[in-house]
Structure 1
Amino acid sequence: MSELEKDVYYLDWNNNISVVMITLVTYEYILQFEKEVKFVWERQWTAMTYLYLVVRYFGLFLAITFACWGGLFYIPAAVSHIIFLIMQWGWSLYFCLAEVLLIWRLYALYNQSKPILYVLLGLFLPVIALYIAMDIFLWSRPSAVSTDEIIITPNIKYCTATFHIGPMPAIYASIPILCYDVLLVILAIVALGKHLKERKELKIRPSIYVVMIVRHHIMYFVINLACQIVIVVLWTGLQAVARNLVLLFKDTAPFIIMPRLIISIWDMHANENCIHVSTTFEDCVCWTSPPSFEQHEMNSCAACA
């Protein structure tokens, strides 16, 4: 295969995957829009509402930018490199926002425990610093990565990123991040175990919300683990087909799943046969604290009990 045929082959794969990415995120947004109107725009806004909107629309912006970068639309190399940096820094910011969501949920699971919150935030600050250092070292230095313009014909051009260092720095940087996620998963599982024990002693069924939140922590850990592996794999230099399929997962899955993790709890809370259904989920604390037998008799129909 000649160099020209290779360039055309890479461009075709890039454009096909870009169309798939735009289709996926657009279709997912349309599916969730009715629930978003119901649980966000038509209700009183809380801090979780603002977090959802940032995760939803910042993620949507990043997904579309990832899809358009490269060859779907022609962008000059200098501008393309700036957009490339925005994408990489934005991806790190998005995952930091996702970590904030998990910390918030753990804070609720542990009955708004201040020590838990302070410990998690204290450990989270080095993670943020590591993300910043990683983005500077891996993505923001010309000696590490550059954006090259490929000219097929005077009217057909596209840009591609070229890596100049090996995958080991990305591997080393991902280890502390994954360790922090492991800690969050362990704390969530411990909270679930404590909750199940308390409910068993009271002979009350476990809270569906506690189980769902722990499940979300595990899902997020799996997604983040997969994305960290993807970052490392990309530095090894994959063939066009494998590289584009890997990017398809990395640049769509987090932006689709994370908003769903937020809105799914609101959806379940609103559709339960619950006397607290008029109360927003964030204001309903009975799902975290084991009720007394009197409270249980009074709130037996409550889904958050």
Structure 2
Amino acid sequence: MNLAVRLSVVLMLSFLVLQFEKEVTFVWERPWSMMTYLYLAVRYLGILVAMISALWGGLLYMPEAVSYAMFLLMQWGFSVYFCVAEVILIWRLYALYNQSKVLLYVLLGFFLPIVALYIAVDVFLWSRPSAISMQEIITPNIKYCTAFFHIGPMPAVYTAIPVICYDIFLAVLAIFALGKHLKERKELQMKPNAYVVVIVRYHVIYFVLNLANRIFIAILWAHLPTVVTNLILMFNDIAPFIIVPRLIISIWETHANDNCVRFSTTFLDCVCWTSPQPLQQHEADSCV
């Protein structure tokens, strides 16, 4: 087992253990909402995909046919994971903009072509033997399977552009909501709402993470040194699955450590409105 695989397994298991106590507090012991299901999806789908990636990366020896099947499962799992992460961003923006149905429909309308693009990329780049194949490598000390690409990096670069543009669109909407919120709070001489700041920070971090992931996937076609390739693969196989669930937990943790008024509404996620509302003996914060 190479060092990158070992580090991947250790990091994922460590994250699983360290995060579990907060998960019990903020997920299993509270009423479930839409965000609860999305969190569980990215949490445990991420662990599954990361473990499949570790197995394919050298944790166990497997023949070529099995290696190819595991590779396809891993790549399709990555796509499903990133689609769920995009849905989380859409749901957060829906909260930031006071549950605007128009905005929700617009975001979902633009998101459907992104889902179709993910499917097309997985079929064109990963699922065709003419595009990628497995080959068994035999050395004096080890025998393993590795992937060989039969097409250049440009299809991956071109197909990544719409996804990146969509992420930029989501990030701009989040930053605009933050700017509007800060302006309103400044006029009222009030501190910014902690949840708005945390949610916008989440969007920006995710945008940077997804941009890095797309760049790394594109340059994997180049003939890079083995050490650099292993570092890139370790980042792609670990960082998204750790950061995305952790950011969701951080929002719930911010809510738990802050004093605000909870209203019983149909939107049960711990997110506060961007527009302050007058409340008796309370700062204008309302969590929903």
Q: Give % identity.
A: 63
1:182 and 2:182 are equivalent in the alignment: no
Match of 1:259 in 2: 245
The 2-side partners of 1:286 and 1:298 are apart by 18
Distance change >3 Å, CA 235–CA 273, structure 1 → 2: same
**In 1, are the aligned partners of 2:273 and 2:285 still within 8 Å (CA)?**
no
The 2-side partners of 1:267 and 1:283 are apart by 12
Match of 2:39 in 1: 52
**In 1, are the aligned partners of 2:193 and 2:285 still within 8 Å (CA)?**
no
Q: CA deviation at 1:300?
A: 2.7
Match of 1:192 in 2: 178
**In 1, are the aligned partners of 2:272 and 2:286 still within 8 Å (CA)?**
no
The 1-side partners of 2:105 and 2:264 are apart by 31
**In 2, are the aligned partners of 1:273 and 1:303 still within 8 Å (CA)?**
no
Q: Which runs of 5+ in 1 are unaligned?
A: 1-11
Match of 2:56 in 1: 69
Q: CA deviation at 1:304?
A: 4.9
Match of 1:163 among 144, 149, 160: 149
Match of 2:82 in 1: 95
1:106 and 2:83 are equivalent in the alignment: no
Give the alignment's TM-score, normalised by structure 1. Answer: 0.89
Q: CA deviation at 1:237?
A: 2.6
**In 2, are the aligned partners of 1:234 and 1:243 still within 8 Å (CA)?**
yes
The alignment covers a number of residue pairs equal to 288
The 1-side partners of 2:286 and 2:99 are apart by 20
1:240 and 2:226 are equivalent in the alignment: yes
Match of 1:29 in 2: 16
Give SS of 1:300's match: coil
**In 2, are the aligned partners of 1:66 and 1:251 still within 8 Å (CA)?**
yes
- Runs of 4+, deviation exceeding 6 Å: 277-281
Match of 1:79 in 2: 66
Give SS of 2:220's match: helix
Give SS of 1:252's match: helix
Give the alignment's TM-score, normalised by structure 2. Answer: 0.94
1:137 and 2:124 are equivalent in the alignment: yes
Q: Which runs of 5+ in 2 are unaligned?
A: none
Q: Which moved more, 1:266-275 or 1:277-286?
A: 277-286
1:210 and 2:196 are equivalent in the alignment: yes
Q: What whole-Å deviation, never above 9, does each CA across 1:128-160 have from its counterpart, x for those lacking one?
A: 11111111111111111111112336x942110
**In 2, are the aligned partners of 1:223 and 1:254 still within 8 Å (CA)?**
yes
The 2-side partners of 1:257 and 1:164 are apart by 32
Give SS of 2:262's match: coil
The 2-side partners of 1:70 and 1:290 are apart by 50
**In 1, are the aligned partners of 2:5 and 2:59 still within 8 Å (CA)?**
yes
